[in-house]
Structure formats: structure tokens, C-alpha cells
Structure 1
Amino acid sequence: MHNEPADPAPPINLVDPGLYSHGDPFVQWSWLRANEPVYWHAPTELPGFWALTRYEDVRTAYRDAETFSSAQGILLRPDGHGADPGGGRTLALTDAPRHRQLRGLVDEWFAVRSVRALEHEMAEITRGIVDKALDQGSCDFVADVAARVPLYVICKMMGVPESDWEYLYDLTSQAFAAGDPLTRRFAHLNILGYFETLQAEKAVRPADDLVSVLATAVVDGERLSPDDVILNCDNLLVGGTENTRIAAAGGMLAFLGHPEQWRQLAADPALLPSAVEEVLRWTSTATHIMRTAVRTTEIHGKKIEVGDRVVFWLPSANRDETVFDAPDSFTITRKPNRHLALGFGEHFCLGGMLARVELRLLYGELLGRSVRVELDGTPKLLDSIVVNGPERLPVKLTAG
């Protein structure tokens, strides 16, 4: 059973970015789970939508791709911005059968066998990043550690020359962390421009990498258009870096706030797999995922019409008290831990295994070298309704 209804209701505004940087969204989510698990969120500068906050409702909707479509976009955006340009064209923004066709092109690269084969090189990348951070002493764990591990790894998989990794690191840092919208847009256009050039090169001289796979792919008897290749490259770069970066940093922030859990992990490194799962549940970095109803349905007596937006609030689902014991406790031994941080159903995160290995290698490297991590300033959380977690995490790293 869910909590007894809380009264009075808190003000509900899940689309205020400041709620995630300076407030406590869990107060609103907890009340909604107990009282209005299918809640009509009135329009603001963003369109109105149905908010789903319970685990089982989110899981069921994720699985029902015939009712809830991804092709109209998976994130809330102002109506004035028009349709998402990736709609119906990228892995994240397609429905069956095209989703399965696109996913089939790259699935093998993210399978357990392929990720395991890359693990030695991933470990070397991680070691080099930790070495550099230790040399600095004081650093921003987000920018100097957590952001670089997944970016360098996905760049390697995509066939980006190592000489260009820092260039893409600078662009992605501007595109996803800078406060100025013009700076973000300019950086994003440069990322697209980079992949326009790279995919053209790979189409002529393909190699053993993800960009070559896309640049030479044939779907329904036709080559993917250059624009589709570029959009999917951008999708892979973002998907392969952003959430892992924030999860890695958010996990470290959680360990700093729960030092007994870090000590327990140091004493028993065999707990790393379950610790990684708890980091993923606890951080739930994708704050919301949107679907659009393509047929009328009903959830808990609320009628959802064709064209209605339905938004899954993943951090809320992953704190659902009917599914997780003591959900507001960060516990690295938690089992079972069937969180939804990496999605569910057809759109389960393509890079889920990769993210798990990257987190395990990063924390394992720090633990294996007895690196002491201490706060060296005040963390700053992201001002965003799309992803949540640290924007900056100033730390001091000391070799053991």
C-alpha cells in the first residue's frame, strides 16, 4: 500500500528547474504517489501533461509502446519550438518497427561480450583520468573525472581519433553545462558539424567503429541519409556520456554524504556491482521521460486521450515505497534493486551495460588505489528538469 494521503497538498510544479537545484522534488513526488498518481499538470511555458509517479505505472507504460509513442519526442519542450528534429529518425525517438531496425545496427556493440572485450582499454582510460586528477590535487569531480570517462570511451567506440577527444570534451561541456543558451546552441551545432565530416569520411573509408556502421547502414533497402547518420551519432554521443557523467558524480556525492557506505565498499569490493545499481537508482539522472498517447487509454480512472503527453518521473518511481524497502536510504547492499533508471521495455537504455562497467571501473580504480576523496567546496546541482545531479563537485583527491 502507498502512504496515507498527505494533507494539505504541497504546491505542485514539476517543471520549475529551480526545484531540482535548490528545492526538494521528492516532497511533491511523494504526495503525488500517495494521492494523485496520474496527475494532470497544467500548461506553463511548457505544454500540459499527465504525470506518472508510481513505479508500476511507469513500468507498465514503458512496456506499452503501442499506446505510448516515442516518435513525437521524449522530453518536454515548448510548443513554439516545433517538433523534435530527431523524431522518427533516431534510436531514442522512433517506434517499432524502425526502432528495432536502427537498434539492430548497433546492438552488438553494446552487448555484454563487446563491452567486456573493451574493458581493458576502458580501465586504461579510467586510470589515466584518475592519474591526472590526482596530479591536480583539487579538481571538479564532474568535469575532470566523471565527464571524461564515458566521453573518451564512447569516442573510442565511435571511431573518433584520440587527438579529437579533448575537442569533443570541450564542445559537450559547453553544450550540456553552459548557462548561456547561445553558447549551448553554438556548441551543439559544432558537434553536429563534426559528425557531418566524420560520417562522410567513414562512408568512403569505413573502419571497425560505430560511425562506420551507421554511415554504411542499409535499412529497408536504402542507405541511411547523411542527416540521419549525423543525428544518430549525436544521439549516441549524448546518450553515451551525459547520464553516466551525472550518475558517476552523483554517486560520489552520495558516498561523500554516506561515508560508511564507501568504507563498507572499500572493505568488500565484491559489493561493487550492487553498489553501482544503488548509485543508478539513487541518482536516477534522467529526471523525466515523455511519451505521447496514440490511442485512448485509462490509468487509475483517468482518461488519457490521443495526443496527450504522458511524462514518467523516474526518480519518483525509483523511490516508490511499495517497491523499495527504505527507499530514501542509500544502501549499497540493496537487493533486489529493480530500478527503472535505465528505462524499461523496447527503449531500455542501449548503453546500460557500458554505463555499469564505467561506474564499476571508476569507483574500483579509486578504491583500489585507496584514493581519499574529500569535499573542497560547495557542490552545485543542475538547474534542469531533464537531468538531475551535480553540475560541479569540487573535491580534493589524495593518493593512499
Structure 2
Amino acid sequence: MSVMTAADHRIPNDQAALLVTPGAYADGRIHETYRWLRKNEPLGMATVEGVDPFWVVTRHADILEISRQNDLFHNGDRAPTLVSQAADKKVREMMGGSPHLLRTLIHMDAPDHPKYRALTQGWFMPQNLRRLEDQIRVIARAAVEKMAAKVGPDGVGRCDFVQEVALHFPLHVIMSIMGVPPEDEPRMLKLTQELFGAADPELARDADTPVAERDFDFSVVIDFSNYFRTLSEAKRAAPTDDLASLIANSRIDGQPISDLEAMSYYIIVATAGHDTTSSSTAGAMWALAENPAELAKVKKDLSLIPALVDESIRWTTPVKTFMRTATEDVRFADRDIKKGDWLMLCYASGNRDEAVFEDPGQFHADRKPNKHLAFGYGAHLCLGQHLAKMEMRILWEELLPRLSELELDGVPAMSEAVFVNGPKRLPVRFRMA
């Protein structure tokens, strides 16, 4: 465990508390904390009751540098997401001392990480994704038609863009690629929301559990594993041209992939493969509804859609935080970091760093350059980044030419989570051309 020192760089208790408060990520208070930290304590130490102490990395340059140094800052030595001491203890008891309930790519370091990443990397490369463009466009058009069907006789449409469009479009795309039957998509969506929304009283499976104990829901992981174990057995018996078949029949160092690692692989693809994309898509729609001039700008020049996509990813930053563990004593950014120290990389802070982004607190659909960190950096750069951007580009290519008016039609809401969060409600009023 940590042997952290440097008491002079302790973050004030009120600011530190917000870093571990799921509601602060939903109501925007976290951005105020990030602004204060970037200015006053860009690499400070948070000490919060019930959580091991951790360094808080808020500047773009520092997040980049730590992400580059994968040998010095590991993913797998401790939990790569923020967990309470109680949850960490429970996982270690269940997993024979390991801090990981799952063993996905985000839980691995070299030499295992590059081996497991290579299993599916080819599927997510741009040259392979190009063959999926027509299929994705069909799915996007269906999503737009679903939205258009909400237009009444008066020419006005109303819908919850999250619940009726943003959640289902990328879900259908990734499940089609994986080989999950369409009838199982609602189950996959519910399990994903329960996994990432364990601290959100509206999304959690067990909302009666105290927030401090809801880092994640063990029963959700079990349900995911049971589903994918059955799917995996079917894909081993009769492989098809999909990701589930590839994972089910994978071999590492000449040996079949283990059950834990196979289930972990399925779960990360099945959750991260759509949840973050739906959040960025909804984040863009929310921003465009609040900024008519930005909507008009992109509608006038559809060549700005790729820039809109990048800005929506920066603006929303669905993956808010990841944790790293120092593998040795190091002097970094004028701080003495000790071997075993835990560090929180605050991507949403890096993506609003005034030293990198002009007017970072505003949504600019034509922002260039846009060196956002939402996909991470280095060896752990998001495997699905090209697919995510391609899906969003295609959806906007299909929707924006038909969207003539757009405004909010109620109060939107973000999910409550420290790790991954995004819009969970987005009521909009619109007209279609």
C-alpha cells in the first residue's frame, strides 16, 4: 500500500471529497474542483476517509507524460479504477489476493497487455472498419427514422434523445460486431448501466446499498459472465465471423485463453464498446440544443462533422478517471512519488486545461486543433476509438441534414459516477426537414 508523503501538497478536504463523490460528476461541481486544482495544486494528494490516499493529476501535460511511461506507472498493480478500501478488501478476498475482479486490457501491463490487445486489434483498425460503414449507416438511418417518427401533426417532435436514440444506436453496432443476438441487446444495455451506474440511484441494481459501498455491483459481473460463458461455448462449437468467436477461440502463448480473461474481454467490449459512444453522442446533442449558432454552423458546412465529433468527445469525456500505480520512487512534476503510490488521471480536467485549449469551458463544433485525452494515450489508447468516431460521424451525416430546429424540452441529467458517466436524460424538442 501507499507510503505517500509530501503533506504540503495535500488537497483541501472539501475539494478532495468531491473527487470521490459520484454526484459531483453529475451536477458539474467536479469541473469547479478541477479548475481550482489546475491553478493551485495540479498534482496534489487526496486523503479521504474510506479510500486509500491518491495523487490527483489534473493537467493535460502531466496526464500525457504518465500515460507515456507505462513501465513506471502501471495499470495492474492495484485497482485501475477508484475503489473504496472496503471494496478492495472484498475483491482481494474473493480473488485470492488479486485486486481485480476482472482481468481486462485496462487491468494489464506488459508483457500480457500487448498480447491480449493484439487478439482483437485488427478488428478495430480503420481499414477493417471501412467494410462496416454501409452496415453502420443502415443502423444510423433507422435511428434517425425512429426520431422522425416522434414528430406530431404540428411538425414538432419530442423525445428523450438518450433513451430513444443515443443508447441504442452504438449498442446495436457493437452487438452486431460481437455476434450477440438483437433480442439480447436490452439485457446488455441494462447490465452495462448497472455496471457503470452502480453509484447512481436511478441506474443501480441495488439502490438501497449505501453510496460509499457501491463502487461496482458484483452480481452484475456474475450475470455478464454467465451470459458470455454460454455464448462462448456456442462460438467454440460453431464459430462465425464475429468478435465473440474470435475471443472464444483465442490462444495466448499457445494456450487457450482462460475463462476469467475471456469473460473479462467480452465484458469490456460489450460495455465500453457502446456506453462511451452513446454518452459522447448525447453530449453533442445537448450542446447543440443549448448553442443554436453551433448547430447552424455545422448544418451549413457538413465537412465540420469530424470536428464536431472530436469536440463532443472532449466536451463529454465519458471516461472521467483512471488510476495508475507507481512502480518505483520517482520525482515527477516537482513531487516525490513513492513506489506503490496511487495516481488518479483526471481526463475531464486535462480536456479543459487552459494551457492547451482556448476557451475550454465552451463547446465549439469547429474546434481545431483538438488534442483531447478522452481516449487515453500510449499503450492503453482506446482500442475502439476509430469505431466510435466512425459511428458518430455517420449518425450526424444522416441526422443533421434533416434536423431543422432543436432545443431542450426539459431538464437533462448526467449519471452519477466517478469512473464513467454521461447524459442519462436529454429531453429535446425538434423539427425535421
Normalized against structure 1, the TM-score is what?
0.92
Q: Which runs of 5+ in 1 are unaligned?
A: 1-8
The Cα shift of 1:46 comes to 2.4
Q: Distance in 2 between matches of 1:245 and 1:289?
A: 20
Q: Distance in 1 between matches of 2:304 and 2:219?
A: 43
**What's the counterpart of residue 160 of structure 2?**
140
The Cα shift of 1:199 comes to 0.6
**What's the counterpart of residue 67 of structure 1?**
72
Instruction: Give the direction of change, closer, same or farther, for the CA distance of 1:65–1:362 in structure 2 (3 Å limit).
Output: same
Describe the SS at the equivalent of 1:166.
helix
1:122 maps to which of 136, 142, 153: 136
1:27 maps to which of 26, 32, 47: 32
Q: Distance in 2 between matches of 1:129 and 1:268?
A: 22
Query: CA-to-partner distance for each residue in 1:154-209, whole Å, 9 max, x for gaps?
Result: 10111112232233234334444444442765554332221111011111211111
**What's the counterpart of residue 363 of structure 1?**
396
Instruction: Give the direction of change, closer, same or farther, for the CA distance of 1:181–1:44 in structure 2 (3 Å limit).
Output: farther
1:85 aligns with 2:88: no
Q: Which amino acid aligns with 2:86?
A: G
Q: Distance in 2 between matches of 1:199 and 1:253?
A: 38
Kept after mapping to 2: 8 A contact 1:199/1:211: yes
Q: Distance in 2 between matches of 1:225 and 1:134?
A: 46
**What's the counterpart of residue 323 of structure 2?**
290
Q: Distance in 2 between matches of 1:235 and 1:147?
A: 17
Kept after mapping to 1: 8 A contact 2:193/2:203: no
Q: Which amino acid aligns with 2:137?
A: A
Instruction: Give the direction of change, closer, same or farther, for the CA distance of 1:170–1:31 in structure 2 (3 Å limit).
Output: closer
Describe the SS at the equivalent of 1:12.
helix
Query: CA-to-partner distance for each residue in 1:22-41, whole Å, 9 max, x for gaps?
Result: 34222221221122111000
1:314 aligns with 2:347: yes
Q: Distance in 2 between matches of 1:360 and 1:312?
A: 28
Q: Note the 1:259-278 alignment, pairs <5 A.
A: 259-278=292-311
Identity %: 35
Instruction: Give the direction of change, closer, same or farther, for the CA distance of 1:31–1:176 in structure 2 (3 Å limit).
Output: closer
Q: Distance in 2 between matches of 1:297 and 1:349?
A: 27
**What's the counterpart of residue 112 of structure 1?**
126
Q: Which amino acid aligns with 1:127?
A: R
Describe the SS at the equivalent of 2:403.
coil
**What's the counterpart of residue 206 of structure 2?**
182
Q: Distance in 2 between matches of 1:24 and 1:304?
A: 28
Greater mean alpha carbon deviation, residues 149-158 or residues 292-301: 292-301
**What's the counterpart of residue 247 of structure 1?**
280
Kept after mapping to 2: 8 A contact 1:203/1:216: yes
Q: Distance in 2 between matches of 1:176 and 1:230?
A: 17
**What's the counterpart of residue 39 of structure 1?**
44
Describe the SS at the equivalent of 1:292.
strand
Kept after mapping to 1: 8 A contact 2:13/2:47: no
Q: Which amino acid aligns with 1:85?
A: H
Q: Distance in 2 between matches of 1:323 and 1:156?
A: 38
Describe the SS at the equivalent of 1:182.
coil
Kept after mapping to 2: 8 A contact 1:215/1:226: no
1:342 aligns with 2:345: no
Instruction: Give the direction of change, closer, same or farther, for the CA distance of 1:385–1:93 in structure 2 (3 Å limit).
Output: same
Describe the SS at the equivalent of 1:92.
helix
Q: Distance in 1 between matches of 2:176 and 2:203?
A: 28
**What's the counterpart of residue 5 of structure 1?**
none
1:210 aligns with 2:243: yes
Q: Distance in 1 between matches of 2:247 and 2:388?
A: 21
Instruction: Give the direction of change, closer, same or farther, for the CA distance of 1:186–1:11 in structure 2 (3 Å limit).
Output: closer
1:167 aligns with 2:170: no
Q: Which amino acid aligns with 1:182?
A: D
Describe the SS at the equivalent of 1:191.
helix
Q: Distance in 2 between matches of 1:111 and 1:51?
A: 33
1:153 maps to which of 152, 173, 177: 173
Kept after mapping to 2: 8 A contact 1:86/1:93: no
The Cα shift of 1:371 comes to 5.2
Kept after mapping to 1: 8 A contact 2:167/2:275: yes
Q: Which amino acid aligns with 1:31?
A: W
Q: CA RMSD, aligned part only?
A: 2.0
Query: CA-to-partner distance for each residue in 1:272-307, whole Å, 9 max, x for gaps?
Result: 111111111111121111111111112222111111
Kept after mapping to 2: 8 A contact 1:318/1:341: yes
Query: CA-to-partner distance for each residue in 1:116-165, whole Å, 9 max, x for gaps?
Result: 11011111111112212322343221121111111111101111122322
Kept after mapping to 2: 8 A contact 1:256/1:374: yes
**What's the counterpart of residue 419 of structure 2?**
386
Kept after mapping to 1: 8 A contact 2:162/2:423: yes
Q: Distance in 2 between matches of 1:212 and 1:348?
A: 24
Normalized against structure 2, the TM-score is what?
0.86
Q: Distance in 2 between matches of 1:371 and 1:186?
A: 45
Aligned length: 392
